[in-house]
Amino acid sequence: MSEISTSYPGIERVVFTGDAIAARVRELGRAIDEFYPADEELLVIGLLKGAFMFFSDLVRAVGRPSLKIDFLTAALYGDGTDASREVQLIQDTESPIAGRHVLLVEDIIDTGKTLNRICDVISGRAPRSLEVCAFLHKRIAGELRYEPRWVGFDAPHDWLVGYGLDLGGLYRHLPFVAVIDPEAVRGR
């Protein structure tokens, strides 16, 4: 399947293979498990849509029995690669946050706007703790008020698709991460 998908229109090169991702996710799951006291419940919140695939693999790699999941949907005004967008919370969690260990799972940190905004909202609800696990980090964010405790990989400064990441809604389903040429899929 991967061999066929790597030749989709606009895909320039694979950056992280499915196997490399799976190995890294196992490490992250172990590290997260060790970080929290074994008898304390963890609420893992996935940021949709981008984190959906990473989130589902990650929670399966966390071994503890006492874990709950929830989701938030954030969106950027506009659909594209423009860094001057505003973050909007379009769907909130069902779970109460106060007094709980919250782990926010994000797909990728680019400008850091999304993370800053969402973490402000969550920390305003008085969680017992708030940590961030980001699948990818471009390391270009100017002001990051909440440093992720766990990062899957440092990412190149290109536009990336696959494993949840999209360009105009396309290519979230790819089982690997690749660099895309935005020009090649423009207008589709």
What mask of x and - would describe binding to ligand IMP in positions 150 to 179, judged by CB under 6 A? ---------xx----xx-------------
Name which of 112 and 148 has its Cβ closer to ligand IMP: 112
The residue within the footprint of ligand IMP, chosen from 10, 29, 46, 50 (CB under 6 A), is 50
CB atoms within 10 A of CB 123: 15
Q: How far apart are CA 166 and CA 8, in angstroms?
A: 13
Between CA 6 and CA 182, with CA 179 as vertex, the angle to 5 degrees is: 105
CB of 108 to ligand IMP, least distance (A): 5
The residue within the footprint of Mg ion, chosen from 10, 29, 50, 162 (CB under 5 A), is 50
CB of 166 to Mg ion, least distance (A): 6
Is there a catalytic annotation at residue 110?
yes
Q: State the binding partner of 113 from ligand IMP, Mg ion, none, CB within 5 to 8 A by kind.
A: ligand IMP
Dihedral (CA of 53, 57, 62, 66) sign: positive
Report CA dihedral (115, 118, 124, 125) to the nearest 10 degrees: -120
Name which of 42 and 165 has its Cβ closer to Mg ion: 165
Tell which positions 92-151 bind ligand IMP, by CB under 6 A: 106-115
Catalytic residue among 57, 79, 107, 110: 110
**How would DSSP label each residue in 65-122?**
S-EEEEEEEEEESSSSS-S---EEEEE--SS--TTSEEEEEEEEESSSHHHHHHHHHH
Q: Is the peptide bond before 49 cis (omega within 30 degrees of 0)?
A: yes
Name which of 65 and 142 has its Cβ closer to ligand IMP: 142
Name which of 50 and 127 has its Cβ closer to Mg ion: 50
Q: State the binding partner of 93 from Mg ion, ligand IMP, none, CB within 5 to 8 A by kind.
A: none
Q: How far apart are CA 59 and CA 57, in angstroms?
A: 6
Asked whether position 42 contacts ligand IMP by CB under 6 A, the answer is no
Strand 42-48 and strand 67-76: the pairing is parallel
Residues annotated as catalytic are 110
Binding site for ligand IMP (CB under 6 A): 50, 106-115, 159-160, 165-166
